[in-house]
Amino acid sequence: MKRLLLICLLAIASKPLAAQNVNGAIQRDFSSYSKLVSERKIDQSLEYINPKLFELFPKDQMKSLLEAVYKLPNIEYKLGIPAITGFGEPKLVDGASYVKLEIVSPLEMKFKDMELDDESLAGMTKSFEAKFGEGNVSFDKTTGFFKVKAKKQVIASSTDKGENWKFVTVDNPKMKALLSKIIPAELLE
């Protein structure tokens, strides 16, 4: 009886340790990925994307799109390093491990060819708040940058028992239907 009780206690105690190991590996890979994105190292950052996404959007097209966004002549972007604010429970589906993450991603943007009077500034701020949430957008009059704290969901996945993690950001509700082709639906809820 004591032996059974000891086994049960060990099983219960080891579950948080396993979750910490999974979360640590996810944090490690997500930090590496985020650093590459913020440094605009597109080729290297794409290595951290769930490869199934390239079945929907070819890698070359995704690279071209990112390069075009970074080179927009009238908008200057500064990407910060996102912070993971929450980890979901790991789920094993068809041999792959999945974890839903909640993140806050800092972003700064400046419209180079636009004079912002009080009315247009208020309108743009309201528009950004509609997308990113009230209280998550500010404007720095000194630098001319909008500062955004974008709250997003990211789905981490691993096909090698949690050694290496790949990521897909779910930042557009319309994308959920498309992403459900490569990510288990319960993770997109």
Q: Which residue range(s) make up the domain with 72?
A: 16-187
32 within some domain: yes
Identify whether the C-beta of residue 153 lies closer than 8 Å to the C-beta of residue 101. yes
167 within some domain: yes
pLDDT at 2 over 70: no
Longest distance between any two alpha carbons in the chain, whole Å: 77
Give percent of the chain with pLDDT exceeding 70: 89
**What would the pLDDT profile of 88-99 be if each residue is shown by its tens digit?**
999 999 999 999
154-187 burial, b at 16+ Cβ within 10 Å, e below that, comes to: bbbbbbeebeebbbbbbeeeeeeeebeebbbeeb
104 or 16, greater pLDDT: 104
CATH code of the domain containing 75: 3.10.450.100
Look at residue 15 in the predicted model and tell me its pLDDT.
Answer: 43
**What would the pLDDT profile of 29-70 be if each residue is shown by its tens digit?**
999 999 999 999 999 999 999 999 999 999 999 999 989 988
Look at residue 20 in the predicted model and tell me its pLDDT.
Answer: 53
91 within some domain: yes
20 or 81, greater pLDDT: 81
The pLDDT confidence band at residue 10, using thresholds 50, 70 and 90, is very low
Compute CA distances 65 → 7, 12, 42, 95, 182, whole Å. Answer: 53, 47, 10, 31, 21
5 within some domain: no
- DSSP character string of 87-136: E---EEETTEEEEEEEEEEEEEEEETT----HHHHHHHHHHHHHHH-TTS
Considering its fold, how many domains does the chain have in total? 1
6 within some domain: no
Look at residue 17 in the predicted model and tell me its pLDDT.
Answer: 36
9 within some domain: no
